Amino acid sequence: MEHWLALLALGVAPVVGVIAYLLGARSQRRQQASAATTTSGQDDIAVLSVLPQAVMVLESDDEVQLASAGAHALGLVRNDTLVHQEILEMLSAHRADGEIHDQEVSVARGAGNELRLGVRVAPLREGRVLVLAEDRTEARRLEEIRRDFTANVSHELKTPIGALSLLAETVTEAADEPETVRHFASQMGREARRLGELVQDLIELSRLQRANALMAPELISVDQVVDEAIDRMQVEAMSRNVQLVLGGTTGLEVFGDPTMLTAAVRNLLDNAVRYSRPYSRVAVGVSYAAESHEVRIAVVDQGSGIAREHQDRVFERFYRGDEARSRETGGSGLGLAIVKHVVADHGGRVELWSTAGTGSTFTIVLPEAQITDVAPMADVETHHHTGGASRPAAAGRRAPIEHAPMEDTHR
């Protein structure tokens, strides 16, 4: 009786109830014809398949009496035999002390991956044992992400706050030196802006990660999105002696949130400008891929580029391949993560091409707004970045953009 109370206290009462019912029914069926038993055994497995955990019931001799499809799929049971070594050790420990045992075990999968399972071994009647296994792989991954995120946020907030504190002390000590005060006050303003950007990006990313971030999509002019993003970046680009250039197709439309898409393009531009050399250019090209009905917005820079080993991780929050370079250029470290979430919410994707020392091309790919009265398409010149044809005759053309080394425009 104590074992059943323990199971109830541990929150597995629904599973135990199903198992108890199946075992009772199976005991009664043993007194019936064997033909009927085969069919009923299949019914037992069907009942177990609806349970969220992988379930196994073992006899007193450790033979598997019942096993759900999940137990077989995870490779825990083969030919009515429990084969996972760690669970077998848990079973032996239970046989020795009669207690409920909980443990997290690993299950090897293909390509060097593994699953993390939460396993519970508990007693049933007549020497039988109940084994429950729940996949905790995703929960562990999310837990690790949350832990890393907390550590990164703490570090990123600590840096500008520490700088502001030190600068404030310096200004206080130099109160009688106006030039020194102005110099350090300017630095305080820069650190305050950096802190404000970080907080704003954290708020934006948190909003995007909530369900249904795109609540009321509307028809959007891609021209307006790109033009507004460029306008917002002009001052920053000029301060760094970087020229913004626009080219490609006009007249394209997508469905979505104009504010979110503008923020995504602006973040790509911000990233490109920060990592560009002085007196270089950042180009924005819009094109249409006729075969896939996709709109492509490419942001091309002539910056330091991204090494291949870092390219798979640049969209992670706070990830920086070159920490020293990133500290020099500024930014919150969240811009590309925001881009990724915005584009995903719009049913699109972000593509990256980059070579270290040459530059990078980030391309937002979005599904075209499907409208029934679209004009017939005409064949026009292909933009070599995207491999797609330009939009139909209804759309206009800007000068095409080439991703080739640009001459130094400084004279």
pLDDT of 320: 63
Query: How many CB atoms sit inside 10 A of residue 125's CB?
Result: 10
pLDDT of 173: 82
What are the structural domains of the chain?
Answer: 48-139 (3.30.450.20), 213-370 (3.30.565.10)
pLDDT of 220: 92
Q: Mean pLDDT, the chain, as a whole number?
A: 76
pLDDT of 60: 87
Least trusted range by pLDDT, from 132-136, 236-240, 252-256, 324-328: 324-328
Coil, strand or helix: which one is 281? strand
pLDDT of 14: 52
Distance CA 308, CA 236 (A): 28
Q: Higher pLDDT residue, 228 or 393? A: 228
Coil, strand or helix: which one is 284? strand
pLDDT of 170: 83
Cα–Cα nearest to 201, from 276, 263, 272 = 263
Rounded mean pLDDT, 1-18: 45
- The answer to whether 49 touches 69, Cβ cutoff 8 Å, is yes
pLDDT tens digits for range 208-225: 666 555 667 899 999 999
pLDDT of 26: 53
pLDDT tens digits for range 229-244: 999 899 889 989 999 9
Least trusted range by pLDDT, from 1-15, 77-91, 143-157, 349-363: 1-15
pLDDT tens digits for range 191-212: 787 777 777 767 776 766 665 5
Q: What is the pTM of this model?
A: 0.54
